[in-house]
Amino acid sequence: MKILGFYFGNIDGIYGNQTKNAVISFQKSFGLSGDGIVGPTTWNALMPYINGALGFIIPTNISYSSSILNINLNTLRTLYPFISIGYIGKSILGKNIPFVKIGNGNKEVFYSASYHGNEWITSTVLMKFLADYCYCYKNNLSIFGYSARMLFNSATIYIVPMVNPDGVDLVTGEIGIGSPPYNLAKNISNNYPSIPFVNGWKANIRGVDLNLQFPAGWENAREIKYSQGFTSPAPRDFVGFGPLTEPEALAVYNFTLSHNFRLILAYHSQGEVIYWQFQNYNPPRSFEIGQRFSEVSGYSLEDTPFNSSFAGFKDWFIQSYNRPGYTVEVGLGTNPLPISQFDKIYADNLGILTLGAVLA
């Protein structure tokens, strides 16, 4: 509505009177019944604009839900048939977890985001990078100083932009108040009243932290998190009842096993920091690549704090393959980070995302 010129207020995620009036104005302009309800006919009228008819594809000023992700993926597939889209698995609620493949080089790298529901801004980062890379490849341009076509032919990038669609949709409001999934999460959250609901929600919809699900010191993670009081399903920091019990984590695990990734980036928020190590593992060139990432982003390169140093995806990848793996914590503040930070976050991370394929 704002881009089309029907809405002039601040974007706040609330369907208030200003938004309703904007919808009515849009409907009347398109010869529709001006009832302020975004039903099927209104959605059909809006879809060309959502799909990029005005020159934008990835919205970077709104909360990014799984529905928006899927709309954007369909648009990119139509505009750029040289990418491939598939699914690594399904969430607890049966939502597809999509992946995108771009490039045909022998080097394979893997970028993933939104392991945690209230870190949905990381999905927007990966999708914006994907859209920009596609545009640069199609038009024979450079991305972060590198020829997109050279990069395309030298490396294959796999992207899973939203590992935890259920958690993201809970935090962004796509899962409606009073619905069964909402009530399930609310009941879990009631056992941890110090964690704000829904903004403090990191877990999948049944209260398991997906970045504490991997078989890399999982027992150590359980001991640490249990000592902190997370002994049952929770909005964050519950490790589950065993490693890889959750379908979202298992999907990432199996997808990784089915490929030969030379490097992985796991995106989180917040802290403006890059974690590069797992225990005493020191994969060849890992520190040097991490230094380059630090240089181009301004983020600090650090060892993972002990209490967070087990059972993450990056940890398992390094343990299993002895290859460079990084957790990148974008932005600063309290999750979910305000979307007003997006432009800086993206500028900080464009170099990391490009160099990941160059340096792998």
Residues 21 and 141 in one domain: no
Any domain includes 22: yes
Mean pLDDT across 119-138 = 96
Any domain includes 194: no
Residues 330 and 295 in one domain: yes
Q: Which domain holds residue 9?
A: 1-50
pLDDT classification of 67: cutoffs 50, 70, 90: confident
Any domain includes 298: yes
Any domain includes 60: no
C-alpha span between 34 and 27 (Å, rounded)? 5
Q: What is the CATH number of the domain that holds 312?
A: 3.40.630.10
Mean pLDDT across 320-328 = 98
Residues 6 and 115 in one domain: no
Residues 350 and 312 in one domain: yes
Query: Which residue is catalytic, options 108, 119, 248, 329?
Result: 329
Residues 72 and 33 in one domain: no
Which one-letter amino acid corresponds to residue 21? N
Instruction: Record the tokens describing residue 99, joined without a space.
Output: 């992946």
Any domain includes 230: no
Residues 156 and 271 in one domain: yes
% the chain with pLDDT above 70: 95
C-alpha span between 172 and 64 (Å, rounded)? 7
Domain count for the chain, please give it.
2
pLDDT per residue as tens digits for the range 11-65: 777 788 888 998 888 787 667 888 988 888 888 777 655 655 445 688 888 899 9
pLDDT classification of 3: cutoffs 50, 70, 90: low
Any domain includes 148: yes
C-alpha neighbours within 13 Å on the C-beta side of residue 336: 31
Residues 23 and 143 in one domain: no
pTM (2 decimals)? 0.87
CA dihedral 196, 326, 68, 354 (to 10 degrees): 140
pLDDT classification of 304: cutoffs 50, 70, 90: confident
Residues 8 and 141 in one domain: no
DSSP string, 1-40: -TTTTS--S---S---HHHHHHHHHHHHHTT----S---H
pLDDT classification of 189: cutoffs 50, 70, 90: very high
**pLDDT score recorded for residue 39:** 87
Any domain includes 304: yes
| Statement: residue 69 has pLDDT above 60 | yes
**pLDDT score recorded for residue 324:** 98
Q: From the centroid of its chain, how far is CA 284?
A: 27
Cα distances (angstroms) measured from residue 227 to each of 16, 243, 270, 304, 345: 44, 18, 24, 19, 34
% the chain with pLDDT above 90: 78
Mean pLDDT across 252-263 = 98
Residues 4 and 38 in one domain: yes
Residues 127 and 13 in one domain: no
Helix 247-257 / helix 313-321 crossing angle, nearest 10 deg: 30
E strands present in 29-91: 84-90
Residues 292 and 344 in one domain: yes
Any domain includes 189: no
Residues 276 and 339 in one domain: yes
329: annotated active-site residue:
yes
